[in-house]
Amino acid sequence: MLQIILESTIGIAGAGGLGSNVAVALARVGIGKLIIADFDKIETSNLNRQQYFLKQIGEPKVKALRANLMRINPFSNYQIHHIKLDEKNIPIIYKNVDIMVEAFDKAEMKKMLIETWLSHFPKKPIIAASGLAGFGMNNKIHQKKIGNLYICGDEETELKEGFSPMAPRVGIVANMQANLVLEMLLM
Amino acid sequence: MKTITVNNNKIDWQEGLTIDEILKIMNYSFKMLVVKVNDKLVKKDEYKTRIIPENADVKIIHLISGG
C-alpha cells in the first residue's frame, strides 16, 4: 500500500482554497510527487480558507505552498509552476500524472481544464469540484462519476458577489477530492 | 417510444436532436457546462450541430465558481 503511494504522481491545478488543502492532505499521506501550478500571489483575503500564513502575503502561492509542504513532509517531491494554465501548457505540465485534481476558483477555468483533460487524456481520471460556497448543508455535498470525470461538491451553491468561500466547506470538498485520489490509488 | 437519458431522466428522442434542444427541453439555463454523450466529451461549438443518437446517455454537468 505504501509503495503505491510513494510511486504516485498527482497533478493539482490551482493553489487556492481547494488546491492548497488538497496538497496538504496528499503531502501528509505521503504521495510521492505533486505537480502544482498557479499564477496567483497570496492576498489577505485568501487566509480565511487557504493553507498560507500572514507573513507569506505577496508571495507566489506555489512557492509558499511548497515551503509549507516541505515543513509538513520533506520526503515527497513538490514540482511547482508559477504560470497561468491554459489549453496549451496543461497537457505538457501534467502529462505524467496518474490522477488530475481540478482546484480552480472560476467556473470557466474549471470547464477549460476538464475539456482539455478529457480531450488529451481520456483514460486518466480527473477529479473536479463544483459547488462549495457558503456554510452548513453537509448533506448536500456528494460525489459523482461520469466515466473518468469525477465531481465533488453540492453542484448548486453559487458564490455570491463579494463573498469568498469559507474554510469548512472548501476544506470538506478539497479533502473529498484527496480522499478520492487515495481510493483510486489503493483500490 | 424512443428515448434518451439526460442526467438520469428519460426524455423522448426525435430525429436530429441536438444538445441545444436538450438544454431547452430540460429548462437548463446554466452557462458553464461540460457535456458528455455516451461518455464522450461534446464541446460548445458542437451543441447546435452534434446529432444525439437514440438511447444515448447524456450527462450535463453545471460548473460553479468557488474554490
- Residue by residue, pLDDT tens for chain B (67 residues) are 899 999 999 999 999 999 999 999 999 988 899 999 999 999 999 999 999 999 999 999 999 999 9
Question: Which residues are within 8 A (CB) of A1 and not within 5 positions of it... i.e. 6 or more apart?
Answer: A186
The pLDDT of residue A179 is above 80: yes
Whether B26 is covered by a domain: the verdict is yes
- pLDDT confidence band for A159 (50 / 70 / 90): confident
Looking at the 3D structure of chain B, how many domains does it have? 1
Whether B24 is covered by a domain: the verdict is yes
Report the pLDDT averaged over residues A123-149: 97
Whether B19 is covered by a domain: the verdict is yes
Q: Could B41 and A130 be called an inter-chain contact, meaning their C-beta atoms sit closer than 8 Å? A: no
Task: Pick the range with the lowest mean pLDDT from A21-35, A68-82, A132-146, A156-170.
Answer: A156-170
A vs B, Cβ pairs < 8 A, gives 77
Whether B20 is covered by a domain: the verdict is yes
Give the chain A residue whose CA is nearest to the CA of B7. A146
Report the pLDDT averaged over residues A112-137: 97
Whether B46 is covered by a domain: the verdict is yes
Whether B34 is covered by a domain: the verdict is yes
Whether B36 is covered by a domain: the verdict is yes
Q: Could A105 and B65 be called an inter-chain contact, meaning their C-beta atoms sit closer than 8 Å? A: yes
For position B47, which CATH number holds?
3.10.20.30
Contacts of A156 in chain B (CB under 8 A): 62, 64
Give the chain B residue whose CA is nearest to the CA of A168. B67
**Cβ of B9: how many Cβ atoms within 10 Å?**
11
Report the pLDDT averaged over residues A121-150: 96
- pLDDT confidence band for A49 (50 / 70 / 90): very high
Whether B18 is covered by a domain: the verdict is yes
Facing residue for A133 by CB, picked from B33, B36, B66: B66
Q: In degrees, to the nearest 5, what angle opens at C-alpha A86 toward C-alphas A78 and A185?
A: 45
